[in-house]
Structure 1
């Protein structure tokens, strides 16, 4: 799988923001089973290690489904391994499911990874 998407808007600029904050709580039978908190405040160190690591775009997808298992995640790892222009992390959750995180240089790259993952899940 090869991705060829532009790294910025047609005029060459990137979307600017002062703060991105996302909090998600997932309850299963009235029990909190997942708390995900992302906070990005751009500054001169955002591109560094531990933050965006030189990438301009961040995407996340969380799937909770009792059919998710290690074999499925291994399929994802094999599928995404050749995509060296992206950073993709897939992690099992404490409940049946997984979290997918993507660092990329375009929205389209992230959408593509999420779409491929969604199609694999539907199968």
Structure 2
């Protein structure tokens, strides 16, 4: 059940991230940090998908751990963009809470998986 939730939530995050990236490059003319943001935000869901298709419990945990790191990196990029005034607090708050939610779900799944192995 939680696998399908994280799969859906990470996909929604990627879609939001791509839209956010498009506004960064078109409206803000920011190309360097925004590209790194795009890579990490789309990598979250990609690694969740790999985890769902893992070959073992250890592989599953490993792939989700990568997803966790990518989500945290995405949050870091957003924090940088906000603190350097590329984005407003309002813009920051449109996507950051999604990252927090996805990160919490991923961490929960990792903890549960480790406890069950």
TM over 0.5: no
| Structure 1 or 2: more helix by fraction | 2
For normalisation by structure 2, the TM-score amounts to 0.32
